[in-house]
């Protein structure tokens, strides 16, 4: 019987990577003057992250360097260590097979080489002067040969880090600027700026560029986001100027000249007063369309508080759009609010007596605002029994302790916070009520009817 010979069985595999590692070991001529093996190890560690060298390999090299001495790195010497794989495994807290795999990886990376003994075992002896007399084991010379290469890679990597850090700071600054502009849009209720889309794009770019180290790609992204931020700033500034101009025009209707004698201040309205006077505390027989803003009825304390805080029908619609999406778009008057409150009373198990009592103590406008606030909290899960909550409002109103103005401004702040959080998370901050209101507004304008 003949046996096939296997000359490679039991021997270390020799390939191109092993040949390159052996070449680097042979080229070692000692470390440069004024350099020690600690500096060589430090140069390797600084460059490791830029060369994608795994941490396990770095840790292995670090452990093996501890068995070398400064004399081993002098010209004419060779740094060799001869610990068994079992000893390396204990030092690293790994299994022997894992150590073997890491050693093979270090060879492929050109960091170590091997000098094998005739029997394949590692070993060595140091003399009294500390020099190695003979040794077989793991050769660390390639790291000494490549020390200048490692230093150059680490220096280039540090400069690249500085550039990348600067670019990422610019990207973060551009994102924060766009977020600030988006907050301004929400605060002032501006439309047509597309700030939500710009903020979503800036947030997406920030996330995608988080681990990018491509200088050109990162620079292009930063410049684009900065440019979009500048364009958004121009749009928001123009919208703010338009809003300020509209407010100034609106204020001129409410300001009369103090120089004119017998000047009578009046509020401009395009509706004539109804011919029939409306009396009584109840709005049961009153049409919501005949309740004009300039009604001669005296205001209650609650209504005075609403006026002081600027809470009018448009304000109520803006902070509770889920309830007010059915408002007409040709007018927004207190009659619409009262009519809405009457429907909400019927739909939310609020007794007629509680509604009439609220009208008596708060006034019709105050009662309507109270009902809307109650139902809004009820739908948000903050109120369990809307009828009892409205009665509690009436009781506080009778004592002069009810501040509905602050309540509605609280709604506004809450919506602003939720909207901004939704925009920063990349979602659509618009509620269902707002979407419906916009859709109805568009259909109203398309039908040829004026929105004023």
Q: What is the pLDDT of residues 6-19, one digit of tens each?
A: 555 456 677 888 99
pLDDT tens per residue, range 270-300 = 443 333 333 344 444 444 444 444 444 578 9
Question: Judging by DSSP bridges, how do beta strands 80-81 and 123-126 pair with one another?
Answer: unpaired
- When mean pLDDT is compared across 337-341, 346-350, 446-450, the lowest value belongs to 446-450
pLDDT at 449: 40
Mean pLDDT computed over every residue of the chain: 81
| Rounded distance between C-alpha atoms, residue 94 and residue 186, angstroms | 57
| Rounded distance between C-alpha atoms, residue 190 and residue 198, angstroms | 15
pLDDT band at 62; cut points 50, 70, 90: very high
**Which position has the higher pLDDT, 274 or 314?**
314
What is the length of the chain? 452
pLDDT band at 196; cut points 50, 70, 90: confident
- When mean pLDDT is compared across 78-92, 161-175, 235-249, the lowest value belongs to 235-249
- % of the chain beyond a pLDDT of 70: 77
pLDDT beyond 80 at 304: yes
pLDDT at 51: 92
pLDDT beyond 60 at 2: no
pLDDT at 328: 54
All residues at 6 or more sequence positions from 377 whose CB lies less than 8 Å from its CB, including other chains: 383, 389
- When mean pLDDT is compared across 41-55, 312-326, 341-355, the lowest value belongs to 312-326
Per-residue pLDDT, averaged over 178-183, amounts to 91
pLDDT at 288: 44
pLDDT tens per residue, range 345-401 = 998 889 999 999 999 999 999 999 999 999 999 888 888 899 999 999 999 999 999
Q: Is 133 helix (H, G, I), strand (E, B) or coil?
A: strand
pLDDT at 149: 95
pLDDT at 72: 93
pLDDT band at 333; cut points 50, 70, 90: confident
Which range is most confident: 6-10, 35-39, 60-64, 326-330? 60-64
pLDDT band at 157; cut points 50, 70, 90: very high
pLDDT at 419: 63
pLDDT band at 106; cut points 50, 70, 90: very high
- When mean pLDDT is compared across 1-5, 133-137, 256-260, 264-268, the lowest value belongs to 264-268
pLDDT at 448: 43
**Cβ proximity of 306 and 404 under 8 Å:** yes
pLDDT at 251: 54
pLDDT beyond 80 at 223: yes
CA torsion angle for 278, 280, 282, 284 (degrees, to 10)? Answer: -40
pLDDT beyond 50 at 332: yes
| Rounded distance between C-alpha atoms, residue 122 and residue 43, angstroms | 28
Q: Print burial letters for 35-63: b (CB count within 10 Å at least 16), e (below 16).
A: bebeebbebbebbbebeebeebbbebbee
pTM of the complete model: 0.52
């Amino acid at each position: 019987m003949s046996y096939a010979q296997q000359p490679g069985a039991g021997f270390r595999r020799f390939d191109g990577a092993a040949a390159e590692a052996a070449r680097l070991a042979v080229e070692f001529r000692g470390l440069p003057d004024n350099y020690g093996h600690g500096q060589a190890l430090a140069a390797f560690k600084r460059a490791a992250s830029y060369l994608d060298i795994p941490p396990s390999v770095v840790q292995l090299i670090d452990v093996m360097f501890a068995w070398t001495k400064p004399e081993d790195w002098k010209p004419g010497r060779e740094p060799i260590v001869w610990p068994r794989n079992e000893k390396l495994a204990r030092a690293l807290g790994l299994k022997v097979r894992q150590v073997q795999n890491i050693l093979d990886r270090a060879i492929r990376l050109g960091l170590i080489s091997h000098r094998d003994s005739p029997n394949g075992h590692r070993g060595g002896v140091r003399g009294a002067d500390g020099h190695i007399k003979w040794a077989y084991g793991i050769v660390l010379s390639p790291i000494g040969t490549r020390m200048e290469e490692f230093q150059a890679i680490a220096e280039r990597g540090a400069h690249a880090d500085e550039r990348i850090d600067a670019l990422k700071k610019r990207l973060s600054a551009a994102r924060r600027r766009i977020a600030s502009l988006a907050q301004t849009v929400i605060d002032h209720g501006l439309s047509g700026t597309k700030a939500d889309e710009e903020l979503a794009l800036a947030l997406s770019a920030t996330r995608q560029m988080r681990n990018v180290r491509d200088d050109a790609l990162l620079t292009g992204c930063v410049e684009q986001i900065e440019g979009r931020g500048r364009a958004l700033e121009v749009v928001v500034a123009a919208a703010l100027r338009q809003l300020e101009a509209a407010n100034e025009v609106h204020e001129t209707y409410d300001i009369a000249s103090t120089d004119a004698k017998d000047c009578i201040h009046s509020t401009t309205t395009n509706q004539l007063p109804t011919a029939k006077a409306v009396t009584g505390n109840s709005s049961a027989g009153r049409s919501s369309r005949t309740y004009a803003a300039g009604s001669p009825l005296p205001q209650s304390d609650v209504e005075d508080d609403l006026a002081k805080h600027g809470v009018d029908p448009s304000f109520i619609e803006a902070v509770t759009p889920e309830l007010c999406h059915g408002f007409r778009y040709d007018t927004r008057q207190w009659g619409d609010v009262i009519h809405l409150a009457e429907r909400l009373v019927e739909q939310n198990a609020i007794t007629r007596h509680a509604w009439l009592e609220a009208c008596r103590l708060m006034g019709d406008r105050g009662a309507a605002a109270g009902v809307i606030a109650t139902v809004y909290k009820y739908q948000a899960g903050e109120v369990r029994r809307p009828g009892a909550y409205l009665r509690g409002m009436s009781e506080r109103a009778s004592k002069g302790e009810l501040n509905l103005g602050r309540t509605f401004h609280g709604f506004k702040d809450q919506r602003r916070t939720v909207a901004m959080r939704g925009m920063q998370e990349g979602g659509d901050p618009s509620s269902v009520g707002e979407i419906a209101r916009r859709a109805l507004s568009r259909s109203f304008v398309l039908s040829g009817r004026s929105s004023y």
